[in-house]
Each structure stands twice: as C-alpha cells, then as structure tokens.
Amino acid sequence: MKTAGLFLLLTILCCAKAVIGFQRLSPEQHYARFQERAASRRLEENIGRVFYLTNFGADPKGANDSSDAIEKAIENAFKVQHNKNMLEGVNDLGGVVIDLQGGDYKISRTISFPPNGGGNVVIQGGSIRASENFKNKGCYLVQLWSPATTREGHENSPCKPNTKADIKKTALQVYYEDITFRDILFDSNHHGGGILAVNAVRIRIDNCYFKGFTTEGIKVEKGHEVFISSSFLGQTETIGGDKREKDFSGIAISLDGNDHAVTDVAIFSAAVGVLLSGQANILTGVHCYNKATGFGGVGILGKASCAQTRIDNCYMDYNSILLEDPEQMHITNTFFLGDGNVKLRAVNGEVHGLTIVNNMFSGNDNWVPIVSLDQSDAKFHKVGQVVIDNNVVNDMVLKATKARKTVAGKGKKWTADFQSVLVFKDLVSHVDYSLYVKNHGGNTTLPAHAITSVKNNKVVVEATAEVDGVVSVAVDQYLAPGETNHLH
C-alpha cells in the first residue's frame, strides 16, 4: 500500500508540473507550427509533381499577401528535374503542374519566374490579383524575363527582375519554353500589366481573363510561337456602350516578335486591341470592341515593322484596323461593323504586298470609306502588289484597287471617272476598254478610237467621229514586282 501511494503521489506531482509549465500558443505561433508541419509534408504531397500554392502558405481567400508563397512554389517546381533539356539551356521539367486550386490570390509585387528558366510546365486554375499596395507600378503581375536576356531600352527598368543567382547564358538567350497558363484570371487592379514574356518560345495562354491593366494585358517581346487563345481582355468590365469608353487606355495584346498567334479572343475595353510590331504573326477569330474608332480607339494597329501578318475571320465592332506602311499584309473574311474600316497610314510612304479581300462592311449611314488613307505625315509614293477587291458594303463607300465602269452617250468623247472608287490618287496601272457602237447598220464607217488620257483616276476615250456609243472601262492599281507604270 505504501508503494502504491508513493507512485500515485509522484504521478500527481508530475502532472501538476506539466500543467504549471504549459503555455497557451498565440494564433501566430499556431500558424508558424502549421507552416512547419506543412513544410514537412510538401515533399510527400508534391511527389506527383503537382505543386499546390496553399502548401507554401498562399492564402486562397485573398485576405493575405501570397507573393512569397507563389514564388516559393514556382521556385520549387522549377527544381524537380535536371537531367533533360529542351532548347539549349532550358531545363525540361517533365510536365510539372503548379495548381492554384481555384484560389483567389493577392500579390503585392511582380511574380518573376526563376532566372535560369525552364520548360514543360503548366500553371492553372485560379485568380491572381494585384493588391492595393502593389509595389511595382507600371510593371506586370507575372513575367517570364530572365535578367540574362537583353531587353533594349529597359536596362534600368524598375520591372527588371533582381537576382543573385548565377545565370548560365545561352547563345539563343532563351530561358522559357513550353509554359502554359490556363484557366486563370489576371487582375492588374489598375497598377500595370498582366503577363510579360521576353524571348520566350512555345508559350500558351489559354482560356484566361485579363482585367484592370493600364499598360498591356499581355506583352510579348521577341520570342517565337506564343499562342494566345480562347481568352478575354479588358481594362474595364463592360459589354459595350459604356459611358467610360472614351477614357479607356492601355493595350490588350502587344506582339513585338515573330510567328505568334492570337485565336478566338475577345477584347472589350482598351485604347488598342492588338498592337503588332513583329513579323509573320496571325490573328484569327479576334473580336475587338475595345474602344470605338469615333473615340480614338484602334482595334488592330500594325506598325511599319509588322510584315507578313495575316488577319483572318475577325470582327471589328465599331473598331478599325490601322496599318502603317503595310508590307505583305493580308486581311480577309473579316466583318467590320459601325463604320469600322481599314486605314493606311503613310510613314515612309510605301505599300507592298497588301491584300484586303472578301470582307464585309456595315456602316451607320455616315458613308465612311471602307479603306482610307492617312497621309498627314507623308505621301504614298511607292505602291506595289496591292489588291483591294471583292468586298461587300452596306451604308459605306466602296473602295478598291480594281474597278469597272460603263459610260454611254452620243458623241466623240467619253470619260470614266474612278475617283470615288480607287484607293490611291492618280495611280492607275492598267486599263482595258471597249467601244460598242449602237444602231450600226453596216453602212456607216466605224471611227478610229483610243484612250487619250489617264489622269487623276479618270480615263478618257475619244473617237474620230460622233457615234452613239457605250464605252466599258476596267482599271487596276496593281504593279507586279519589277513592273513599270507606263501610264504616268
């Protein structure tokens, strides 16, 4: 009994000591312990190479800043594999997935992908929003920009990623390849842009939504084969007819590189829908109602450097396409509504290889030309291989580089005036005509006739004798390579 009593006494004393020594943890200490336990589970949970932002401390409800957690998740994802390569210097990550799990994450600074890059990665499923105190004003929510990649004019940019990492430079200066962003909403909250991709290749931006940008929703510099598809972009939420429309600013998509594609995209608010500065890009199924041309907006703006670009099956909804000195540009199967048209702006005054064919134009009874010239800074003086034809028009002025006209009357002189139809002033390259003499019984000598003037887009046909005639004239403004215009 004495032994049992002693044991009971010692047990009570030990329990009392434990109770006395117990300290209640604060919420912060509980959270810290949770983070420690979560960190110990990460390797096991991410063994399938799906990285969840919440495992790194991101807040899926958007109450707390998740910048550090998101960068940590990306950093870890880019370390999973190091024995395979894509392009030279690009680590093949084997299809790793960074999953937002439908969370709504708030960030206070730009999320920069690891400077040594990588590829074969998917980022998916959630929302990323700039906080009210976003630090990188005028920069982007997410950027694929290695400090080792030269970005002309931005050497001292505040958006340039800072890193102490040892970056291995490659001959191509390409560090990001085959990276997919899908099913993500990017809200810049009027602090800057959405995504920046510098010299990245084979990047996919699919089924995403960009809003609140003040610079660019998506900006692509250099690189190769960045595909933007099935996405929506707008600075301000609207479905058209917005009272704030005249104040819309920014650029929804800027392509300053070659061989990129934009497919099935709607742009609902921005000063410029798509800015094209590179070559061999293609736009298909793009709907622009970003800012009406009447308010100074532009649906698609092609700079003088954007040669070999194709615009096919698009919808310019109260918007225009503006091309500067176009070279090998193709616009087809596109619908222009509400006085939307194609404008050609002279910078150096040259147009080469432009086709605007098989489009529909529907106006608002203002009789706006479907193709107009802006020669306020320079005059078009070199025009070759231009075909503007086979377009259909409603309540607008038809313009073309090919035209036919019939002039009938009794006399010795007939004038076919093409000024209202032909696009370029005084630039007829070829003329075909015929003279039909009415009521000719075979007893009257047929007069000699010829074209006597081709000037100011007017063709004059004269005969040696008065007849009751019908003159049919066909002209074009097309010059083949190396061909000389002998009519001027």
pLDDT tens for 208-229 read 999 999 999 999 999 999 999 9
The per-residue pLDDT for 89 is 81
Confidence tier at 16 by pLDDT (50, 70, 90): very low
pLDDT at 81 over 70: yes
Phi then psi for 424, rounded to 5 degrees? -100, 135
Phi then psi for 137, rounded to 5 degrees? -60, 135
User: How far is the C-alpha of 394 from the C-alpha of 362, rounded, in Å?
Assistant: 5
The per-residue pLDDT for 9 is 46
Whose CA is closest to 385, among 419, 418, 357, 420? 357
pLDDT at 60 over 70: yes
pLDDT at 324 over 50: yes
Rg of the chain (C-alpha set): 33
- For residue 414, the cross-strand partners are 461
Query: How many other CB atoms sit within 10 Å of the CB of residue 55?
Result: 21
Query: How many other CB atoms sit within 10 Å of the CB of residue 488?
Result: 10
Query: How many other CB atoms sit within 10 Å of the CB of residue 178?
Result: 21
Classify residue 356 as exposed, middle or buried by CB count within 10 Å of its CB (0-12, 13-18, 19+).
buried
Look at the pTM and tell me if it is higher than 0.85: yes
User: How far is the C-alpha of 214 from the C-alpha of 394, rounded, in Å?
Assistant: 36
Buried (b) or exposed (e) across 269-298, using 16+ Cβ within 10 A? bbbbbbbbbbbbbbbbebbbbbbbbeeebb
User: How far is the C-alpha of 459 from the C-alpha of 427, rounded, in Å?
Assistant: 12
User: How far is the C-alpha of 208 from the C-alpha of 287, rounded, in Å?
Assistant: 15
User: How far is the C-alpha of 319 from the C-alpha of 329, rounded, in Å?
Assistant: 18
Contacts of 387 (CB under 8 A, 6+ apart): 354, 355, 356, 357, 401, 402, 478
User: How far is the C-alpha of 170 from the C-alpha of 89, rounded, in Å?
Assistant: 6
pLDDT at 21 over 50: no
The per-residue pLDDT for 18 is 44
Kindly report, residue by residue over 450-487, the tens digit of the pLDDT: 999 999 999 999 999 999 999 999 999 999 998 888 88
Do the beta carbons of residue 61 and residue 14 sit within 8 Å? Answer: no
Looking at residues 252-264, what average pLDDT do you find?
97
**Rounded mean pLDDT of the chain?**
89
Do the beta carbons of residue 414 and residue 460 sit within 8 Å? Answer: yes
Looking at residues 310-338, what average pLDDT do you find?
97
The per-residue pLDDT for 395 is 97
pLDDT at 44 over 50: no
Looking at residues 438-449, what average pLDDT do you find?
78
Confidence tier at 166 by pLDDT (50, 70, 90): low
The per-residue pLDDT for 235 is 96
- And the tokens for 320? 């225009």
pLDDT at 341 over 50: yes
